[in-house]
Structure 1
Amino acid sequence: MSTHDAPPPSRWARSGPQATEGFGRRFAELVAAGQDVDGEARLADALLPRGARVLDVGAGMGRVSAALQARGHRVTAVEPDGGLVAQCRATYPTVDVVQADLLELDDARVGRVLGDRPHQVDLVVCVGNVVVFLAEGTERQALATMAGRLAPGGRLLVGYHLVGGPEHARAYPPEEFVQDAASAGLRVQHRFGSYELAPPSDEYAVWVLTADA
């Protein structure tokens, strides 16, 4: 894909407004009810030094970005869905959110908060089934794009359902994900079964990846 071509439509975009609006509505209700929606952010925070630089890819309504920002990190949220971007800005007005597809990112679009080295972040967060909603055949390109944003020693946090995931999401077997990550210059540092560090399971995968030296 050239820099002038629009990325192909993702599985998320093709799932239709009923599915995408339902996602935003569900999390808005959880937040309004005071439910705990910070599990991913707690793990992300544990992986980081204080005041770190974070890129939250597929940020949705911004809940993970907001939680990390509240913990003192510099965060740029990236979300392609215009409805979710609007919801993020209304719910978390201090979160810097960029409406863009992951494959469209450039330094200018993510540098407002991250500063003069927006291509170098301490952590890329890609949770909430984002990788199983990517456009078909773009997984390796997406992983390479995220890997290219990492500072030396930086890491990538990925989480998705192995079974029982959302409608329209793809199945992404662990062995295929590991192969795709390796092709992008990433290696698995840890695999867990939850954001609370449960042992690996057949239901959900949480990966901590680092760039090859």
Structure 2
Amino acid sequence: MTNPPTRWQLAGEDNRGYGRHFAELRASGSDIEGEARLADALAPRGARVLDVGSGMGRVAAALVARGHEVVATEPDAALRAQSRATYPDLAVLPHEALDLDPVDVGVFDLVVVVGNVMVFLGEDTERQVLRRLRSLLAPGGRILAGFELRGPKSGSRVYPAEDFLADAAASGLTATWRFGSYELHGPNDDYAVWVLEAGHDRRPSG
């Protein structure tokens, strides 16, 4: 069965600025590891980590450098090429989120889905993707998700916090924490960072 096109695919060349932007930040010495620092704090030492939509590889590479076993996945061929050029030792699978099967890739202590991946999924596939990510969690595993709530990027959707919480709940996930940044600022109306768990009754902070 063929997956529906993602919003990222439909935006086409309008999204090429993403790779250029982070290449420029890296070349300038700017901090591009905020997501990785939080992911590292959420994971046990030497954890199995899945980076869904790994882009140019910056988060996955930073987690490898911190001693984790990382599986990176990026369906965009241009971003995979950039990742190979920037981090040649980082292996990247071409899978979309819906193509990830625990039989093939195993299960993970932490699944990372940041960089606005959630607002670029195919239309009406959010719950499917969240259920798939839940199936990839090891016992006690968690999901770190982050995206812009107002959908300002070319081709992305507006994804209000209440809609995301409803989709997570319908997928068997609970948001145990919500922040406004990867430095753990309080929740705001522009950006949300979520920590999700399976089979947990605790309500999100904020």
Report the Cα offset of residue 206 of structure 1: 0.4
Q: Which residue of 1 aligns with 2:176?
A: 189
Q: 1:28 to 1:109 in 2, by over 3 A?
A: farther
SS in 2 for 1:15: helix
Q: Which residue of 2 aligns with 1:48?
A: 43
- Residue deviations 1:28-61 (CA, integer Å, cap 9, x gap): 1111111100000000000011100000001100
Q: Which residue of 1 aligns with 2:59?
A: 64
Report the Cα offset of residue 109 of structure 1: 5.3
Structure 1's consecutive aligned runs of 4 or more residues displaced over 6 angstroms after TM superposition are: none
Could you tell me how far apart the structure 2 residues matched to 1:72 and 1:93 are? 17
Which residue of 16, 19, 22 maps to 2:17? 22
Matches within 5 A, 1:59-208: 59-107=54-102, 110=105, 118=106, 120-163=107-150, 165-208=152-195
- Residue deviations 1:65-115 (CA, integer Å, cap 9, x gap): 0000000000011111000011111111111210111111234753xxxxx
State how many pairs are aligned.
200
Could you tell me how far apart the structure 2 residues matched to 1:186 and 1:106 are? 18
Could you tell me how far apart the structure 2 residues matched to 1:8 and 1:164 are? 20
Q: Which residue of 2 aligns with 1:31?
A: 26
Q: Which residue of 2 aligns with 1:11?
A: 7
**Structure 2 unmatched runs, 5+:** 201-206
State the Cα RMSD in Å: 1.2
Q: Bigger CA drift: 135-144 or 19-28?
A: 19-28
Q: Bigger CA drift: 19-28 or 35-44?
A: 19-28
Instruction: Give the letter aligned to residue 9 of structure 1.
Output: P
SS in 1 for 2:16: helix
Could you tell me how far apart the structure 2 residues matched to 1:192 and 1:107 are? 29
Q: Which residue of 1 aligns with 2:204?
A: none
Contact 2:49–2:71 (CA<8 Å) still a contact in 1?
Answer: yes
SS in 1 for 2:18: helix
Report the Cα offset of residue 187 of structure 1: 0.3
Report the Cα offset of residue 164 of structure 1: 5.8
Instruction: Give the letter aligned to residue 28 of structure 1.
Output: A
Could you tell me how far apart the structure 1 residues matched to 2:131 and 2:77 are? 24
Instruction: Give the letter aligned to residue 8 of structure 1.
Output: P
Aligned sequence identity (%): 58
Instruction: Give the letter aligned to residue 11 of structure 2.
Output: S
Contact 2:35–2:59 (CA<8 Å) still a contact in 1?
Answer: yes
- Residue deviations 1:131-160 (CA, integer Å, cap 9, x gap): 000000000000000010000110000001
Contact 1:132–1:170 (CA<8 Å) still a contact in 2?
Answer: yes
Report the Cα offset of residue 20 of structure 1: 2.6
Contact 2:119–2:151 (CA<8 Å) still a contact in 1?
Answer: no
Could you tell me how far apart the structure 2 residues matched to 1:31 and 1:176 are? 34
TM-score normalised by L of structure 1: 0.91
SS in 1 for 2:79: helix
Instruction: Give the letter aligned to residue 11 of structure 1.
Output: R
